[in-house]
Amino acid sequence: MPKNLHDVDICIIGAGAGGLSIASGAAQLGRSVVLFEAEEMGGDCLNYGCVPSKALISAAKYAHAQTAGKKFGIKPVTPKVDWSAVKSHISGVIETIAPVDSQERFEGMGVTVIRERARFKDGKTVESATFEVTAKRFIVATGSRASVPPIPGLDKVDYLTNETIFSADILPTHLLIIGAGPIGLELGQSFRRLGSKVSIVDIAPPLGQSEPEHAKALAKCLEEEGVEFHAPVTTKKITQTKSGITMHLEGGKKLKGSHLLVAAGRAPVVNELNLEAAGVEYTRRGITTDDCLRTSNKKIFAVGDVAAGRGGLTHAAGFHAGAIIKSFYFLPPPFNRWKGRATTDRMPAAIYTSPELASIGLTEAAAREAGHKLKVLHFEFEENDRAIAERRTEGNVKIIATTKGKILGASILGESAGDLIQLISLAMTNGVKISGLAQFISPYPTRAEAVKRAASSFYTETVFSDKTRKLAGFLTKLH
């Protein structure tokens, strides 16, 4: 049976954050668009990642609040958790947001949405079961899936990933987690607050890419809530038992749990795309792209998690989409090859534990390795009046700046860190130096004052030096 044929301006494979943003932008500019999606519209973020995990975190927060009121004069009680109701809450949140990413909405924009698995037939054609599409340009936005580490026995046991954990039949009595990264810590703390015993295992220390002092402090906060860490440690094998899962660790230690969650990083979805036929180079890290997200085939681009070394965050995919739309439709050649770049040194990231850990730009170690002359600025939340009033004083603001005041990066550990890092993101985006962060007016009492105070400390030695004291004394006599 002959296939349906389409020839369009842009063909997109994958209806996640990046693919949908590009489809929306192109369609609203009057371009013809075909969008392939074989699974759920909205991709991993809506259905298995950002949205359901934050809904779970919210439920866990309310459960934890019932146990943590003593210091406020509120008698602690043990929460009664209805796992079925928690799952309904999570699915309800997804259902509320889903219309924004729905097939109907995008078809209303004029996008041709094809709910079939697509692959490259050759370097200028994409095909599915019943369609064949040629296009001026192609976008690969297939995202990533949970990476499964090569641990002996893992492939023979029942384990959960972020795609299945939110629909587990029962609340785990003891959740074993492979992976001490952001997903492992977020879900680990949440399930502990909901009443599960939680053990997190990793071959490396927790959050190895974060500022070391913040990573250690966050792990300590979770340990104080009862989360167990076994990291760094090597897992020798995993076995299934009648009662659940057993992890055999180096040194002979065994961990026995009711459920196992694999949260050991992400792997790009490339295997079923037939990229070889299209002349697109890729590795196990994803599709190789240049700074403008173009692959080795000049007609094909890759965005989001599937672009090697450029993804991992929903807002990174959105940033890529913006760069693509700008390059395709607002910048004529050759300007699109340098003004349409999708590289940045200011991509913020946040881990939504309690407290949160947010970061942007270079770490202190990376900045020193790059040869910068630094001023590392700190302000502790134990000196912030809002944090004191809320009795959540753990953490601090850390800003990495050059001795001339250029902001290179920052890390914030504390409540609402994901919101606070946006002040520094805004400054870095607009080339604002430390002086600008030190001068903004912050309402009192707010946690944002900690960012201002950290920035202001850049000038402490100068403002209160002996030389300045003498100058102030001299000027006083003139008044």
pLDDT digit string (tens) for 12-56? 999 999 999 999 999 999 999 999 999 999 999 999 999 999 999
Residues whose CB falls within 8 Å of the CB of residue 167, separated by 6 or more in sequence, listed in order: 87
pLDDT digit string (tens) for 253-269? 999 999 999 999 999 99
Domain 4-41+102-145+267-337 and domain 154-264 have a common topology: yes
Tally of CA atoms within 13 A in the half-sphere of 296 that contains its CB: 13
CA distance 26 to 138: 12
Q: Are 228 and 199 within 8 A, CB to CB?
A: yes
Asked if pLDDT for residue 111 goes beyond 80, the answer is: yes
Triad 13, 16, 17: Cα angle to 5°: 120
pLDDT digit string (tens) for 276-326? 999 999 999 999 999 999 999 999 999 999 999 998 899 999 999 999 999
Report DSSP letters for 429-443, one per residue. Answer: HTT--HHHHHHS---
Asked if pLDDT for residue 275 goes beyond 80, the answer is: yes
Asked if pLDDT for residue 349 goes beyond 70, the answer is: yes
CATH domain 349-463 topology: Enolase-like; domain 1 (3.30.390)
Structure token pair of residue 196: 């599960």
Asked if pLDDT for residue 363 goes beyond 80, the answer is: yes
CA distance 77 to 67: 5
pLDDT at 333: 80
Looking at every residue in the chain, the average pLDDT score rounds to: 95
Asked if pLDDT for residue 2 goes beyond 90, the answer is: no
pLDDT digit string (tens) for 168-214? 999 999 999 999 999 999 999 999 999 999 999 999 999 999 999 99
Structure token pair of residue 466: 């002996």
Tell me yes or no: is domain 4-41+102-145+267-337 CATH 3.20.20.140.
no
pLDDT at 468: 67
Residues whose CB falls within 8 Å of the CB of residue 202, separated by 6 or more in sequence, listed in order: 178, 179, 180, 181, 184, 230, 231, 232, 233, 264
Average pLDDT over residues 332-348: 82
Least confident segment among 61-65, 66-70, 138-142, 307-311: 307-311
Report DSSP letters for 201-229, one per residue. Answer: E-SS-TTTTS-HHHHHHHHHHHHHTT-EE
Triad 211, 216, 219: Cα angle to 5°: 125
For 64, list phi and psi in degrees, rounded to 5: -65, -35
Q: Is 94 exposed, middle or buried (0-12, 13-18, 19+ CB in 10 A)?
A: middle
pLDDT at 477: 75
pLDDT at 238: 98
Structure token pair of residue 391: 């009795």
Average pLDDT over residues 416-435: 97
Which of the listed CATH numbers 3.90.226.10, 3.50.50.60, 3.40.50.300, 2.40.50.100 matches domain 154-264? 3.50.50.60
Domain boundaries, the chain: 4-41+102-145+267-337, 154-264, 349-463
